[in-house]
């Protein structure tokens, strides 16, 4: 998605630790008109897959999931991190390793919201080493539902998580894939 690459080049900031800060439009602050265009593109990519539900992870995945849901006319479910008072014990749970924070955290989703006959599209804002998607895949597999694939806004291709999942047969659609990132230098994978 050319418009996303241009937006990253224009508004993204590279912070120490290979962190790409896109808080001006993709998280913290959300350029909602642009986000709904991203959602439209995700809907286009998966239009033939009979998706019944979008699964994401709190909190930065929720906005892009809502944008895709608007165009796909399906519900969104978000996996919660850690424990919550408002959840019953009736959950699928998994563990995600955060490389950013170097710690594990639990993710959970109520069993009520993923049924075995569903066709699930996973959506997130970022894909780096793939930890969050691995957690979501685990949750969906526990439910017996079908994973049709994943859609993410920005993939850090050089961290390998997306390609590893593709090798295992998952359809992973990233609207911008960064293959190299250095000081004020971002190289996108041609798509």
Please report how close the Cβ of residue 136 comes to a copy of itself at its closest, in angstroms: 14
Task: Provide the token pair at 143.
Answer: 């439910």
Among 50, 59, 141, 191, binds a copy of itself (CB under 8 A): 59
Element of type H or E holding 182: strand 172-182
Residue 170 binds a copy of itself, judged by CB under 8 A: no
Residue 50 binds a copy of itself, judged by CB under 8 A: no
Task: Provide the token pair at 113.
Answer: 């919201």
Query: Measured between alpha carbons, how far is residue 68 from residues 73, 89, 176 in Å?
Result: 8, 29, 16
CA angle 152, 26, 111 (to 5 degrees): 50
Residue with tokens 């066709």: 119
Task: Provide the token pair at 58.
Answer: 């709190």
Among 10, 48, 82, 86, binds a copy of itself (CB under 8 A): 86
CB 92 within 8 A of CB 108: yes
Which one of 40-48, 85-93, 148-156, 174-182 is the stretch in contact with a copy of itself (CB under 8 A)?
85-93
Which residue, 16 or 190, is less far from a copy of itself as judged by CB?
Answer: 16
Residue 141 binds a copy of itself, judged by CB under 8 A: no
Q: How far apart are the first and last CA of the chain?
A: 8
Which residue, 19 or 166, is less far from a copy of itself as judged by CB?
Answer: 19
Residues near a copy of itself (CB under 8 A) are 15, 17, 19, 21, 23-24, 27-33, 35-36, 58-59, 62-63, 66-67, 69-70, 73-78, 80, 85-88, 100-101, 109-110, 112-113
């Amino acid at each position: 998605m050319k418009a996303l690459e241009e937006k990253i080049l224009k508004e993204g900031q590279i912070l120490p630790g290979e962190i790409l800060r896109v808080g001006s439009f993709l998280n913290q602050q959300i350029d909602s008109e642009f986000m709904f265009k991203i959602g439209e593109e995700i809907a286009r990519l998966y239009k033939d897959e009979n998706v019944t539900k979008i699964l994401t992870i709190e909190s930065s995945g929720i906005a892009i999931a809502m944008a895709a849901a608007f165009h796909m006319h399906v519900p969104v479910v978000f996996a919660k991190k850690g424990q919550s008072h408002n959840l019953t014990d009736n959950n699928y749970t998994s563990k995600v390793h955060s490389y950013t924070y170097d710690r594990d955290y639990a993710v959970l989703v109520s069993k009520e919201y993923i049924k075995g006959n569903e066709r699930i599209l996973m959506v997130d804002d970022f894909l780096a080493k793939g930890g969050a998607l691995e957690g979501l895949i685990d949750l969906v597999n526990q439910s017996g539902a079908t994973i049709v694939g994943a859609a993410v806004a920005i993939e850090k291709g050089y961290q390998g998580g997306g390609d590893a999942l593709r090798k295992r047969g998952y359809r992973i659609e990233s609207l911008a894939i960064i293959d190299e990132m250095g000081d004020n230098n971002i190289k996108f994978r041609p798509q």
